[in-house]
Structure 1
Amino acid sequence: MGRSRRTALRTTAAGALSASLIAGGVLALTPDAHAAGVRAGAGTATATRAGTDVRYVDITAADGTVLKANVVTPTGAADGTRHPLVVLPTSWGFPQIEYLAQAKELAASGYVVLSYNVRGFWQSGGGIDVAGPLDVADARTVLDWALAHTPADPDRIGMAGVSYGAGISLLAAAHDPRVRAVAALSGWGDLIESIYSGRTQHLQAAALLDTVGRVAGRQSPETREVFSAFYSSDLSKEKEILAWGQKRSPEAYADRLNRNGTAVLLANGWGDTIFPPNQSVALYEKLTGPKRLELRPGDHATAELTGLFGMPNDVWNDSRRWLDHHLKDTANGIEREQPVQLKSRSAGGYEGYPDWKSVSADRRRIALTDTATIHTNVNSGADGGIVFLSSILDQIARLPPMASIPLLPRAWAAVWQSERYPTAQQVRGTAALHTTVTPTEESGTLVAYLYDVGPLGLGKLVTHAPYTFHGRTPGQPFGLDLELYSTAYDVPAGHRLALVVDTVDPLYIEHNPSGARLTFSSPENDPSYVSVPLREQ
């Protein structure tokens, strides 16, 4: 795809995201809240409310960068008693008042809470480091400052955060054994797998992060260079981008988290278009210490959003229970619950599992026996929706992206369907596609979608995933194995599942040369199928 076309796509995506930024809560700050953030960074005023004291402070990082922070303590905490400490790094684009409602809840129950604005954003100095070495060093400095200037107990330290704050918390805990517990909400395990899964650039996700970074922060030269290389699809810089991302991926430091014995809670949304759930599951699988995995309906950070305003919220409630148990030794029942907690996108309450393997224990294959050849460069009408907006509609109204399966043009979309299921079925876990692809060009992109198809042929998106290849021999078939994004979805009785493959999706940058075609076949010695974690409801 030409550079001008990629630039146009990026510009279109960034413009289309303006409404998504508000809907997803990324920039959901009223003018009063914005002003409060500015005031919070300017002084050392103290306020007292509902049994807590709030101080706004400056913390100087090792390189001289000033980080703006607030400290919330129980009223009367200066009596010499030591309290467990929770540190909250802010999310991407948020000021340090982001967690004030939750900080007061924690402080009222006996914690010292320090929330700080990560470098490069709002009133904190420096440039955006994207959870790099400077951010990890900042977290250590913040811990040192809290132990020196608050009645915090050095033996009872936890970290928590949403999105960017979750990733920094995990990385900090891996590098600093003083952190005993982490609650990582809508974070990531593998940064590259999040926005470059299947070797495909997640265009809308990257444009969202880039736009917020420009509006609410100051990108460092390195960050700007990485974004530019990401957009340009420059394969000569791919190894450099992969190394940059690995350095910022908690999964790369899972052995350190295990060695430190850190208690880790991971909570994500099924429809997270910034950090899809698969990479959090992969991190969870590598952890050997105390751990808990929670997956719910919603997009990036939408499940946690109401809690930031002090409203009842399952994610924050479980986070407090997790911290209470591991920092206060409170026997609150969380230690007796199944460590994997899932909530279906369709209906019902939470389901508990002893491990992730048990989630997908029952699997069925849908054979993809018919050969199909499709043309590239045209959106068939099957797609993953719009970042934030589509998954929010699914979360609130159970309206995922839809497509009329009979009307999908077979010139641009390959379609296979299962038989109708006489009883309701539950999809739980990770569906996987195995097929043989023959390209007419050395590079290409495809996107696989799994739909729940009703009697009239209307398909509701269950899950999907992109895949890009380079350096293939034209006309030479190759085997393809692709895991779709993990999900929990209920298929009604009388419906069927359909696998659709096309080559264009607004969520992603595609790499299909003009006029290219892809053929999907099912050789006798290597039959094609989609394996779905499916069981009767």
Structure 2
Amino acid sequence: MHPAAHSLYPELDATALNAFAAALETGEPAGLPPARAAEAAAVRAATVFSRGKVTGADGTLLDAALWRHTGPAPRPVVVMPAPWSDLGWPAYAVQASRFAIRGYDVLAYSPRGFAASGGHADCAGPLDVTDGRHALDHLLERTAGPVTRIGVLGVSYGAGIAQLVAAHDARVDAVAALSGWGDLGEVLRENHTRRTAAVHTLLTASPRARLSRPTERALEDVLAGHALGEALAWAEQRSPFTHVKELGRRRVAVFCAQAWHETLFPAGQVLRMFQELTGPKRIDLSIGDHCGPEMTGLPGLPNRIWADALRWFDHHLAGVDNGIDAEGEVLSEVMWTRALEPSPVWPLPTHRVRRLHLTGTGELADAPDPGWAAVVLCGVETPVAVADAVARSGYAELEGLPKRYPAADAMDRTATAVWTAAPAAETTRLRGTPRLRVTYRAANSGSTVVAYLLDLAPDGSARLITHAPFSDLDAPPDSLISADVDLHPIAYDLPPDHRPMLALTTRDPFYADANLPRATLSFTSPEPTPSYVELPLG
């Protein structure tokens, strides 16, 4: 049973954004606070704002808004496809206005199937890419003076479309993708494990959206666990990672922003694409979950992510020497100090890797310990889970209230296998991608393991550092399986006297479960394939 549908953007104030959009159109600031009313008036004084329709692929009409300058001066332009929501382009009303004030001509539009646009959502497929190119045509035809350079910016769904338009349209010079995806296949299935909570959210989070039948079928097939090959082929076409060489060949300047604990589009698949980019690139990694780090910027509050996106376009489109190109490719916010750490490259520089072996005593130790078994029962719900709901737990993290987990001695050992390391006297800086090697015996064919790396405090409370699922779908019954799993990447400071804790379960509501109910998994550590976790130390 999946949770009820909920908004991907719980902090998005649709009423305030629509009121701001109305003020841009009419000049009447009814219902706006004084600062926002003054901003709307300044936009109207500097640009001509208008609403209208863009003719997209197959004649579909897309609801859009245009900010343009009337003078003949050369200027850059930006196209903004809207997120996966019923609000549509007004989500960008404030931020597009700020780009316009800085001299950009801007067109924001609602993708097909959403808000007041026609058609059916293609989930960033060929129709959406063509729509984005037509939106750019529409903007260029209405720009008064010469166009210097071109950018595409999007949040969430709009970020995926933005990257794909940039890959397919040689006119695009720069892209900003906030909380987007790199590999849609990994969004649907990770380590052979179907990501059912994320897929269910895509199907239900925008109740008034009109999804195309191929989009519905692909998502429903992932939920049902059949025709996965067809669903993954559908996803491959919609993945910026598939087209990363084209972005690199043309040296498109790519800016990404992602949350460490992203539950919809995990950071790992975006960072995998980021590593393959060969042109100018930058990624901001923050505490939180889907769209949380940049959400306060949409209604106009100060926001680091939006400020960096604007600086990125100022440098790569407007030619402003603002120093962003010299700040390194990565800026990461550290859990839980919130310190900002620049790095010249991803992966983050690692001082060394510490290997901790799983032992029969429940310790994470420096030496291997063969010959033990820890048996867990499948099909049992445990209090250890990725998050309470897709996207929402990240807002608590932004407020300094991360989810608390039970301590090792409070976990049900019939359903959870647990190991803890000795506490360190100093802060342990975890930077990069932890890796797990675990060997287990599955009584039945088909098995799923979810691994959680936790921070165990002296008072017995625990917090999630990172996690990852793994499934084996092909091994015959009573097989010994060795799983090599990259956990989700992190920048985490483990305080003095805190201990890393590894928990392995067979069931998490975020993922499909390939185990048979009441079957067992027996974790072990044979000499040929010892079980261990590797921690990247910064």
**TM-score, structure 2 as length reference:** 0.91
Q: How many residue pairs align between the two structures?
A: 510
Tell me, in whole angstroms, the C-alpha distance in 1 between the residues paired with 2:209 and 2:21.
13
Is the 2:67–2:100 contact (alpha carbons within 8 Å) kept by the matching residues of 1? yes
The match for 2:398 is 395
One-letter amino acid matched to 1:92: W
Deviations 1:446-490 (Å, cap 9, x if unpaired)?
Answer: 110001111233221111111122121111112101111112221
| Equivalent position amino acid for 1:29 in 2 | A
CA contact (8 A) 1:84 1:152 kept: no
1:374 aligned to 362, 373, 376, which one? 376
Matches of 1:362 and 1:151, distance apart in 2: 56
Choose from 230, 234, 258 the match for 1:240: 230
Q: 2:222 matched to 1:220? A: no
Distance 1:249 1:275 in 2: 12
Q: Does 1:23 align with 2:13?
A: no
Shift of 1:348: 3.9
Q: CA shift at 1:191, angstroms?
A: 0.9
The partner residue of 2:53 within 29, 50, 58 is 58
1:384–1:507 contact (8 Å) kept in structure 2: yes
Q: Is the 8 A contact 2:470 2:483 kept in 1?
A: no
Q: Can you give the 5+ residue segments of structure 1 that lack an aligned partner in the other structure?
A: 1-8
Q: 1:485 is matched with which residue: 478, 485, 488? A: 488
How many angstroms apart in 2 are the aligned matches of 1:113 and 1:53?
Answer: 11
Find 1:343's aligned residue among 325, 333, 355.
333
1:300-319 correspondence runs (5 A): 300-319=290-309
Answer yes or no: is the 8 Å Cα contact 2:72–2:145 preserved in 1: no
Per the TM alignment, residue 153 of structure 1 is displaced from its structure 2 partner at its CA by: 4.2
Q: Is 1:174 equivalent to 2:167 in the alignment?
A: yes
Aligned 8 A contact 2:182 2:239 in 1: yes
Q: Residues 9-88 of structure 1 correspond to what in structure 2 (within 5 A)?
A: 9-10=1-2, 13=3, 15=4, 17-18=5-6, 21=8, 23=10, 25=12, 28-30=13-15, 33=17, 49-73=44-68, 77-88=69-80
Give the Cα–Cα distance (whole angstroms) in 1 for the partners of residues 192 and 168 of structure 2: 29
Identity %: 38
Deviation of 1:152 after TM superposition, in Å, equals 6.2
| Corresponding residue of 1:5 | none
- Counterpart CA distance in 1 for 2:520 and 2:111 is 46
Does structure 1 residue 90 correspond to structure 2 residue 75? no
Is contact 2:48-2:70 (8 Å) kept?
no
Quick check: 2:264–2:290 contact (8 Å CA) kept in 1?
yes
Give the corresponding residue for 1:3. Answer: none
Contact 1:154–1:178 (CA under 8 A) maintained in structure 2: no
Contact between 1:383 and 1:401, CA under 8 Å: does it hold in 2?
no
Equivalent residue runs for 1:116-127 within 5 Å = 116-127=109-120
Q: Contact conserved, 1:181 with 1:263, CA < 8 A, in 2?
A: yes
Measured against aligned partners, the alpha-carbon deviations of 1:357-401 in whole angstroms (never above 9, x if no partner) come to 334443211111323111100122211122222222122124234
Pair 1:392–1:33, CA change in 2 (3 A): closer
Task: Please state whether the residue corresponding to 2:328 is helix, strand or coil.
Answer: coil
Structure 2 residue corresponding to 1:208, chosen from 201, 206, 216: 201
Letter in 2 for 1:531: E
Write the distance in 1 (CA, Å) between the matches of 2:144 and 2:298.
25
**Residue of structure 1 aligned with 2:256, choices 244, 266, 273:** 266
Give the alignment partner of residue 533 of structure 1, picking from 514, 531, 536.
536
Task: Give the structure 1 partner of residue 28 of structure 2.
Answer: none
Q: Distance in 1 between matches of 2:509 and 2:501?
A: 21
Q: Which runs of 4+ in 1 moved over 6 A?
A: 35-41
Letter aligned with residue 491 of structure 1: L
User: Please, which runs of 5 or more residues in structure 2 have no aligned partner?
Assistant: 26-39, 361-372
Does residue 1:321 correspond to 2:306, yes or no? no
The CA deviation string for residues 200-250 of structure 1, in whole angstroms up to 9 with x for no partner, is: 22222222221124x13101111111122111111xx01101101111110
**Shift of residue 84, structure 1, vs aligned partner:** 0.3
**What amino acid sits opposite 2:306 in the alignment?**
W
Give how far 1:37 is off.
7.7
Specify the alignment match of 1:249 in structure 2. 239
Matched, 1:411 2:396: no
Aligned partner of 2:34 in structure 1 is none
For residues 31-75 of structure 1, give each alpha carbon's deviation from its aligned partner in whole angstroms, at most 9, with x where no partner exists: x7568889999xxxx9863523211011111311001110112xx
TM-score, normalised by the number of residues in structure 1: 0.91
The alignment's C-alpha RMSD in Å is 2.1
Cα gap change, 1:152 to 1:478, in 2 (>3 Å): farther
